[in-house]
Amino acid sequence: MPTVHANGIDIWHDRLGPDVPERLPLVLTHGFAGPSRQWRPELLSLAEKRPLVLYDVRGHDRTTVPHDPVDYSMSVFASDLAALLNAIGVQRAHVGGVSMGGMVTAQFAVDYPAMCASVLVCDSTCGNAAKAAVPRADDDDAAAAWEKRLAFGISLLENSVRERGLEETQRRQHEWAKANDAHLAESPYTFEEDFERLKLMTPEGYIGAAWAIADRPDLTERISKISAPTLVMIGEWDDFLPCALRDHELIPSSRLVLRKNCGHGSRWRLETFVSEIEAFLDDVESGRPVAGQRIV
């Protein structure tokens, strides 16, 4: 699998699917501590019609892992992606991501709008109440409340990795989920897979990516200027739901897709995740309007 030197680091990437000139590539960014190596099998059907570009974000698996947390931020992640696409000859693409990957996508969409044929923000948020220029009250804003809890939780994970290491942090996370996750028994993700995925990370990469998530800028004012067709997709059981509802309202002519009986992550009812992306891209490429809401 190829690696390119771009934006001062070595970025691993994988280009799948047919070389179809009339179809722009779909570029997808993975979630926090969830490198492409494990996510790839879920996405292969998306490469049947068009090129699919996957890559490992800075600090993850086969991409360079800087040791200093100051080398990690959403703006840096977005500039890494722009440099990667330029290096492999992709000037414009459908750009999306899940969870942390959705945060990278939102940053990329506002920083590099000319490179976005469409934007796909899945199970994620474009905001960060902890960094908002105008404070948002938790009791009036469910999205703000979740963003603040997320920032606190991520900081706890970061500190835990520093003090106890990756494996013990993952164990404690699982114990918390057993006690607090109402839909844990229905989850398509297993604890064993989580530990396998963690083996693809280093403490430095984990801490750096966590820092980037906690310190990300609030983009709620900037996303109103996104002009590319945009898909905002979310599971009904996902804690990010209030954020997705808000982002849909803020992004002009966006499509909101609510996936029933789904939590956080693409694997919940995977067939709906894939089919809704394909339907959205077909509409974009055919010039049909995408605005509206769907429940699947």
Strand order in the sheet with 230-235: 3-6, 9-16, 52-55, 26-29, 93-98, 116-122, 230-235, 255-259, 292-295
Q: Which two tokens stand for residue 146?
A: 């979740």
What digits encode the pLDDT tens for the residues 196-239? 999 999 999 999 999 999 999 999 999 999 999 999 999 999 99
CA 279 vs CA 106, 248, 290: distances in Å? 21, 18, 10
How confident is the model at residue 133, as a pLDDT? 77
Does residue 167 surpass a pLDDT of 70? Answer: yes
CATH code for position 131? 3.40.50.1820
* Bridging pattern class, strands 52-55 and 292-295: unpaired
* Percent with pLDDT over 70 in the chain: 98
Boundaries of domain holding 97: 3-295
Question: Whole-angstrom Cα distance, residue 12 to residue 1?
Answer: 7
**Does residue 190 or residue 137 have the better pLDDT?**
190
* Percent with pLDDT over 90 in the chain: 94
Mean pLDDT confidence for 182-196? 94
CA 28 vs CA 13, 86, 168, 266, 280: distances in Å? 11, 16, 30, 12, 15
Three-state secondary structure call for residue 232: strand
Could you tell me if 129 and 249 are in contact, meaning their C-beta atoms sit under 8 angstroms apart? no
How confident is the model at residue 139, as a pLDDT? 58
Taking the CA atoms of the chain, what radius of gyration do you get in angstroms?
18
Q: Which residues share a beta bridge with 295?
A: 258
* Overall domain count for the chain: 1
Mean pLDDT confidence for 175-196? 94
Mean pLDDT confidence for 110-138? 91
Could you tell me if 18 and 86 are in contact, meaning their C-beta atoms sit under 8 angstroms apart? no
Mean pLDDT confidence for 185-204? 94
Q: Which two tokens stand for residue 90?
A: 């992709």
Does residue 54 surpass a pLDDT of 90? Answer: yes
What digits encode the pLDDT tens for the residues 60-108? 999 999 999 999 999 999 999 999 999 999 999 999 999 999 999 999 9
Q: Which two tokens stand for residue 60?
A: 């993850």
